[in-house]
């Protein structure tokens, strides 16, 4: 419990995750490009930092949670970044979703300074981040992973060591294939039910207990039926993640036709001006294509 924790990236996911580390009794220093979240957590007892370098200079373990691969590279290896303030023995845990190859290159760069980098993307949305029940998939040296499990338990419920550096990001890419497919399937079944004149709510109730049961079917329909399409997990981030899936597939020569179609559906969603809505709001694309709205009477 004496370990000093740094958390960089206080967005929809990062802020509640940092807060849960504070609730677990850790001394937490925070940094974010936008200062509102920093001030909010500072008012709750966190220490504010002016740069990633300052976080590194005052932490034993640093978490990062950033939008994309270039952001993580900049925060870790750029000017006033973590690498400039780190020291041997430190651990950097990246909760972002980035390319596996980027995770491996950052790990190699930090290893030269005696610092361990764990790629540890998460799944479970803002609900899981707030509740501390996220699934965390980790890549990197197993002995270092074992040493930080008590810290990870403050933010997640299912904590899995997947393999060496980059393996956590591969697992997240696989996760996003399934999540994207579920969001598309949910949209299709809801619009099909509505278009045929059958109550979509009753359809959901009918199939939830059978082979179609999944996290998406359990969590998302009620919000959609209530007309709530805000995030959650923003559509443009889902689009970015599926782009990582396809980049990884091309790197390793893996055909992923279904994931490619899902990516195109999210591309359409972004082009329709719905980039900041929840990933389940993909149903809006189907409403446009099918000429039917979920909440029509």
Residue 276 token pair: 């900041």
Question: How far from each other are the two terminal CA atoms of the chain, in whole angstroms?
Answer: 56
**What confidence category does residue 1 fall into, taking pLDDT thresholds of 50, 70 and 90?**
very low
Residue 18 token pair: 């940092």
Strands 61-64 and 91-94: parallel
Residue range 250-281, pLDDT digits in tens? 999 999 999 999 999 999 999 999 999 999 99
| Chosen CATH of 170-290 out of 2.40.10.10, 1.10.1040.10, 3.30.450.80, 3.90.110.10 | 1.10.1040.10
Residue 295 has pLDDT above 90, yes or no: no
Mean pLDDT of 191-213: 96
Identify whether 232 is preceded by a cis peptide bond (ω within 30 of 0). Answer: yes
- Which of 131, 8, 25 lies closest to 75, judged by CA? 8
Residue 231 token pair: 């995030």
Q: Which residue has the tokens 């799944």?
A: 123
State the Cα–Cα distance between residues 37 and 50, nearest whole angstrom: 13
- For the chain, the structural domain boundaries read 4-165, 170-290
What burial class does residue 178 get, using C-beta atoms within 10 Å of its C-beta: 0-12 exposed, 13-18 middle, 19+ buried? middle
Task: Output b/e per residue, 69-87; b: 16+ Cβ within 10 A.
Answer: bebbbebbbbeebbbbbbe
Residue range 32-87, pLDDT digits in tens? 999 999 999 999 999 999 999 999 999 999 999 999 999 999 999 999 999 999 99
- Which of 183, 192, 287, 289 lies closest to 239, judged by CA? 183
Mean pLDDT of 86-97: 97
Strands 122-123 and 134-139: antiparallel
- Which of 123, 129, 134, 121 lies closest to 168, judged by CA? 121
**What confidence category does residue 232 fall into, taking pLDDT thresholds of 50, 70 and 90?**
confident
Residue 297 has pLDDT above 80, yes or no: no
- Neighbouring CB atoms inside 10 A of 218's CB total 11
Task: Output b/e per residue, 23-62; b: 16+ Cβ within 10 A.
Answer: ebebbbbbbbeeeebbeebeeeebbbbebbbbbbbbbbbb
Residue 118 phi, psi (nearest 5): -110, 125
Domain 4-165 has CATH 3.40.50.970: no
**Active site (catalytic) residues:** 172
pTM for this prediction: 0.94
Q: Which residue has the tokens 């278009």?
A: 195
pLDDT computed for residue 186 by the predictor: 98
């Amino acid at each position: 419990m004496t370990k000093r924790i740094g958390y960089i990236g206080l967005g929809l996911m990062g802020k509640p995750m940092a807060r849960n580390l504070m609730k677990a009794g850790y001394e937490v220093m925070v940094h974010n490009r936008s200062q509102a979240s920093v001030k909010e957590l500072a008012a709750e007892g966190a220490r504010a930092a002016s740069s990633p370098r300052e976080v590194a200079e005052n932490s034993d373990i640093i978490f990062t949670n950033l939008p994309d691969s270039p952001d993580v590279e900049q925060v870790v290896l750029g000017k006033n970044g973590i690498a400039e303030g780190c020291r041997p023995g430190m651990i950097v845990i990246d909760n972002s979703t980035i390319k596996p190859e980027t995770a491996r290159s950052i790990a190699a760069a930090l290893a030269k300074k005696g610092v361990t980098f764990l790629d540890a993307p998460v799944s479970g949305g803002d609900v899981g981040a707030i509740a501390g029940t996220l699934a965390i998939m980790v890549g990197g040296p197993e002995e270092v992973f074992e040493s930080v499990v008590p810290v990870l338990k403050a933010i997640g419920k299912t904590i899995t060591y997947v393999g060496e550096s980059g393996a956590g990001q591969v697992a997240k890419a696989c996760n996003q294939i399934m999540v994207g497919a579920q969001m598309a399937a949910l949209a299709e079944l809801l619009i099909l039910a509505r278009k045929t004149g059958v109550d979509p709510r009753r359809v959901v109730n009918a199939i939830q207990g059978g082979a179609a049961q999944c996290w998406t079917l359990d969590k998302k329909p009620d919000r959609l039926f209530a007309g709530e399409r805000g995030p959650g997990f923003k559509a443009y981030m889902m689009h970015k993640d599926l782009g990582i899936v396809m980049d990884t597939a091309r790197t390793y020569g893996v055909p992923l036709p279904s994931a490619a179609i899902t990516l195109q559906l999210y591309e359409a969603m972004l082009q329709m001006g719905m980039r900041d809505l929840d990933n389940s709001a993909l149903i809006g694309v189907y409403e446009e294509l099918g000429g039917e709205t979920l909440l029509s009477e």
